[in-house]
Chains A and B, each alone.
Chain A
Amino acid sequence: MVLSELTQALLALFSGSHLVYLLGGVLLGLVIGILPGLGGIVGLSLLLPFLYGVEPTSALAMLVGLVAVISTSDTFPSVMMGIPGSSSAQATVMDGFPLAKRGEAARALSAAFSASLIGGVFGAAVLTVVVLAARPLILAFTSAELFMLTVLGLSMVGVLAGGSLPKGLAACGLGLLFGALGAAPATSEFRMVFGVEYLSDGIPLVVIGLAMFAVPEIVDLLRQKRAIAGAAQLGKGWLQGLRDTWRHIGLVLRCSGVGCVVGALPGLGGSVVDWIAYGHVVQSSRDKSQFGKGDIRGVLAPESANNAKEGGALIPTLLFGIPGSGGMAVFLGGMVLIGLEPGPSMVGERLDLTYVIVWSLALANVIGAGVCFLISGWVAKLTTIRYALLAPFMIMVISFAAFQTTRQLGDLVALFVVGLLGIFLKRFGWSRPAFLIGFVLAGNSEVYLYQALQFYSPEFLLRTGVLLIAALTAVSIWLGARKAPGAHAAAGDAGARATHLWPQAAFAAFVVAAFAVGIWDGLQHAFLAAVFPVTVGAVMLLPALWVLWPLALGRTHSAANYDHEVAGEHAGRPGVAGLWYYIWWLFGFLAACLLFGFLIALVGFFVAFLRLEAQASAARIALLTGTGIALICTIAWFLVLSFPAGLLQHYLDLPWPLR
C-alpha cells in the first residue's frame, strides 16, 4: 500500500506544472541560502502571498523545494567568506573557511554539496518510513527526556571549547545567560531587560548568530585589506572533494542520522544540529589536530546533518503540527493556508500528500546540489573582489537579516553590540560555538526542567529514557576528554604569547561582572524565575574567575593567556588596520540609523565607505549604491516591511521606503 502511494505521489509530482513550482521554490531557496543570515523564515515569507489559488500539490512542492535547498547553498558564504549563510551553516565555517584560505575551496565545496545531497536524500528516506511509526516514538520523549537531551547537547561544549576549557565553559554560561533574557517561562517575569522594551522578547537567534560569526569575520577581513581568496582562485579539487565524501561515507551517513534525530525532536532545536554534528566528528576522531585548520571531515559532518534535519523536522510538523524551528512554523502556516491541517490524517487519508512532500524533498536536494555545482565557478568570482567593495553589501545584508526578525530598530542595535562581544570573544579565544550552544539550549533546558519537576517531581531522573540519555551524555563527555591534553598543548603552541595582559583581564572581568549582574537580577524575581539565571551565574562564576585570576596577576605563561592580536597570523603584518578602526565604522553606521533611519544611513554608509575605504570612482559609487538600495527595497517591498525608523522619521512623516 505504501509503495503504491509512493509511486502515485511521484507520478503526481511529474504531471502538470508541479515540477515548475518545485523548481521555482528551489531557485528561490538557493538565492536565500547564499545571502548571509537569510534562512527559511524569509524565504517562506516571500512565498506565502503567492499561495492563493495555487493547487495544493504544486504549492507544497514549492514550499518544500525552498526549505530543502537552503542548507545546500548556504555553504557558499560559509566556506568562501567565513560568514554563515544561514543559522545551520555556522559549523561549516570552522574548517571550510581555512580550506578556502588554503586554496582548496573547490574541494571543500564539492565535498559539502555531495554530503548535503546524501544527507538530504537520507532525510527524505527516513521521513518516508518513520513517519508511519513515529507517533509512539515522539510520544516517548516526555519533558524529562527532552530536558536530558538538552544536557547532552550542552555536553558538546567540552569538545567545542577550543584551547581553554574554563573559557569554553564560561562562554557557554554567557550564552545561557543571554538565552535567559526576557520573559521567564514559568512566571512570565521579565529578566535582565533593564526597562528596555525590545529585550522583553529576548534577543532573536538570527541576530546572535550573525553577531557571533559574521560581524567579527567582516571586521577581520576588512582589516587585512585584500580579497578573501589570497591568490583569488577556487583552486582545484572538485574530484578530490567527491572522493573525500566517498572515503568518509560512514561519517556522512552517521551525521545524516544525527541530523534527522535532532531535527525531529523539539528538545534540541534544529539550529544547533550543525554544532552537534561537528562536536560528534571531533570527539569520535582519533586525530583531532587538524580540526579548525581545514579538516575536510569538519565540513562533511555539519553539511550532511543540516540537510538531513529537514526530513526529520517534517515528522513532528506533519504529525502533530509542532514546528521544531521558526522556518518550520512558517511552513506549517503555509500548509494551513493551502487547506491542510497537520495531524494523524497526514499518515492516513492524506498520505498521498505526505509522499508528495517526501519526493519533493529528495528531488529538491538533487536539483539543489546540481545547481550549486554548476554556479560555483561564478559565485567564486565574488571572493576575488577587493573586500572593501564587497563589505558594504555584506553589512547591508546582515543588517537586513537581523532586523527582519522582529522588525525593530533594537535588532540593529543588538546586532552591533553583541557583535562587539563576538569580536572580543574571538580575539581572546573564548569559544563562540560554546556561547551559541548555551544560547540556543538555555530556553529549552529551563522549560523542560521546570516542566519535568512539575509533572513528575524529582523522580523524573530515574526514568529509563532519562537514564539512557544520561549514559549517552557520559560517553560523549568521555569521548571528548580523550586526548584532550594533547589538544591543549597544540593550541598553546599556536602562536606568540601576549605580554600585556590588561585587555584580556578587562574582558575576563567583564564576563565575571555579567554573571554577577545575572545573579543580582535573578534575586529580584520569584523563585521559579530566579533559579535558572542564579544557578548559571553562580556555577559559571568559578571558571570565569579561574580565567581572570592569572590574567589579573599578569602571569603570561598561564594557559588562559591568548590574544589573537598577538597570536593571529595577521599580527605584525604591515598595512593591517587597528582593531577599533572598523568597529567605529560599524557604530557610525548604527548611529546614522538611529538618527536618519536605516535607508538614508545605508546610502550615506555606501557612499562614504566606497569613497574613503575603497577609493572608488564617482560612477562606480553610484552604480554600487544604486544596486544595493534597489535590491534591498525590492526584498522589503515583497516582505511588506518598513525599514527601521530613526529620529528624523519621528519628526517627519516621509513616504515609503524612507518612513
Chain B
Amino acid sequence: MTRSRNLLAAFAAMLLGALLSAASPAFGADFSGKRIEFVIPFGTGGGSDVWARFLAPRLSEALPGKPVVAVRNEPGGGSITGTNQFAARARPDGLTILGTSGSTQFPYLLGDPRVKYDYKDWTVILATPTGGVVYAQPDLGAKSADEVMKLKGKRLVYGSQGATSLDLVVPLAFEILGLDLQVVFGMKGRGPARLAFERGESTVDYQTTAAYLQSVEPLVKAGNAVPLWAWGTINEQGELVRDPTFPDLPHFGEVYEKVHGRKASGTGWNAWKSFFVAGFAAQKMVFLPKGTPKDIVDTYRQAVARMVAAPDFKDAAQQALGEFDQGIGPRAERLAELATGVDPEARAFVRDWLTRKYNVKF
C-alpha cells in the first residue's frame, strides 16, 4: 500500500519536474546535494589545476542546487591518460566534467597513437584563452616587431619544455618567418625558461600574460628585454586580433604580414594558427561527456554565463589567472572547433617539420 503510494508520488514529482523544465529550461537539471567531479588530467598545483580550482567554487554557486564542484586530478602521460579515462568512463549525467589544456589538444592534433579520445564526441561549455608575449634580448638589435628581420643571422636561442609541448608554437613561428632558432629542451616550466633568459643563456623567450606582467615587464622597463609581439586573441568570427591586454603590441599575423609583405596564408600559416589556437587562444576548455542530454548542456551553458557575469568574477580572474576574457556560448564552440580541427596538409607540415628538425618519431 505504502509502496504504491510512494510510486504514485514519485510519478507525480516526475511529471511536475518535466512540466517545470519545459516551462523554464534554466531549471532543466537540478544538482542539489550532488558532488560534481571536475576531472583535470594533470597533477595538483600546475596551471590547469589552479584554473580548475579557481572555477570550481564559482561554478558551484552558478549551478542550480549549488552542488559541490570538486577537482579530481588524474595525472599521467602528459594528460593523455586521464583524458582517455574520461572518454571511456564518464557518464553523461552532468556529474563528471573535463578540463583540458593545450597539452591535451596537441597530441590529438598530431595524431599521437596513445590518444583514445575524440573531441568531436564532447560538448564544450567554456573556453579560457591565454595570452602571451614573445620577447628578446636587446643586444640582438631589434627594438620592436618592425625590426624583427634584424634578428636574421643572430644567435637565437630558446629554452623549451619539449619538442611537442606547448612551447613548439615559438619555434614554429620563427620557422614560418624564415628565422633560424636554436632550441634547448629540458626546461622544467616557463619559469626556469625565463630564468635562463635573465641569465643570458637564452636570447628569445615567451611568457603567458600573468607571468609577463609580473616578471618580464620590470625587465623591459630596465632595458633588459624587448617585447616583439603578443600572440593575439581569436574573436567570434574566428579571426586573429590584438590582445586587449597589450593593445600596443602587434599580433603575430601582423608580424607575418610585415615580414612577407602579404596577408598571412598558406600551409605553414594554417599549421601555426591551428596549434596557436589549441595552445593559447583556446588553451583550457571545459567539456561535457559524449551523449549528455540537452537539458544538462543548457543548464551548464546558462551557469557559466551566470558565473562569468558575476560582479567580482572579472577582478578575481584577472588576479588569479591573469585573464578575464572567457569564451562562452557560440564563441566557445567556435574556439573549440578551431582548437581541435587541423587540416591534413597542415598536420603533415608540422609532423614533417618536427621529424626533420628535432628527430621526433611518429
Residues of A within 8 A of B (CB): 41, 44-45, 48-49, 51-53, 138-139, 142-143, 183, 185-189, 197-198, 200-201, 266, 320-323, 326, 329-334, 336-339, 341-345, 406-408, 447, 450-451, 454-456, 526, 640-642
Contact = CB atoms under 8 A, between A and B. Distances in A.
A336 B318 CA distance: 11
A337 B199 contact: no
A640 B49 contact: no
A479 B57 CA distance: 56
A454 B195 contact: no
11 contacts: A41-B45, A139-B199, A143-B201, A186-B185, A187-B163, A197-B76, A321-B215, A323-B45, A333-B49, A447-B186, A455-B184
Contacts of A334: 45
B268 interface: no
B49 A339 contact: no
Interface of B: 37, 43-46, 49-50, 53-54, 56-57, 70-78, 81, 114, 157, 159, 162-164, 182, 184-186, 188-189, 191-192, 194-196, 198-199, 201-202, 210-211, 213-215, 218, 316, 319-320, 322, 358-361
B74 A407 contact: yes
A188 B103 CA distance: 14
A280 B143 CA distance: 50
Contacts of B201: 142-143, 451, 455-456
A385 to B, nearest CB: 33
Given A139-B198, A188-B360, A447-B186, A337 B53 contact: yes
A136 to B, nearest CB: 10
Contact of A48 (B37, B53, B202): B53
Nearest to A140: B199
Nearest to B318: A339
Given A408-B81, A455-B157, A320 B195 contact: yes
B162 A49 contact: no
B162 to A, nearest CB: 5
A257 B199 CA distance: 25
Contacts, number: 143
A329 B45 contact: yes
A329 B360 CA distance: 29
A531 to B, nearest CB: 13
Which of B182, B195, B210 is the most central at the interface, judged by chain A CB atoms within 10 Å of its CB? B195
Contact of B44 (A48, A266, A322): A48
A144 B185 CA distance: 15
A197 B198 contact: no
Nearest to A52: B57
A142 B157 CA distance: 15
A640 B72 contact: yes
B167 to A, nearest CB: 12
Contacts of B75: 406-407
A251 B76 CA distance: 42
Contact of B182 (A329, A339, A454, A641): A454
Contacts of A407: 73-76
Given A139-B198, A332-B45, A640-B37, A341 B191 contact: no
Given A407-B73, A408-B81, A447-B186, A337 B320 contact: yes
Contact of A266 (B49, B162, B163, B192): B192
A323 B56 CA distance: 24
A336 B46 CA distance: 10
Contact of A344 (B159, B188, B210, B214): B214
Contacts of B188: 266, 447
A81 B286 CA distance: 46
B131 to A, nearest CB: 14
A336 B320 contact: yes
A200 B113 CA distance: 14
Nearest to A338: B320
A453 to B, nearest CB: 9
Contact of B50 (A337, A406, A526, A642): A337
B53 A450 contact: no
Nearest to B76: A406
Contacts of A447: 186, 188
Given A49-B71, A344-B215, A407-B74, A187 B195 contact: no
A545 B70 CA distance: 53
Contact of B214 (A187, A338, A342): A342
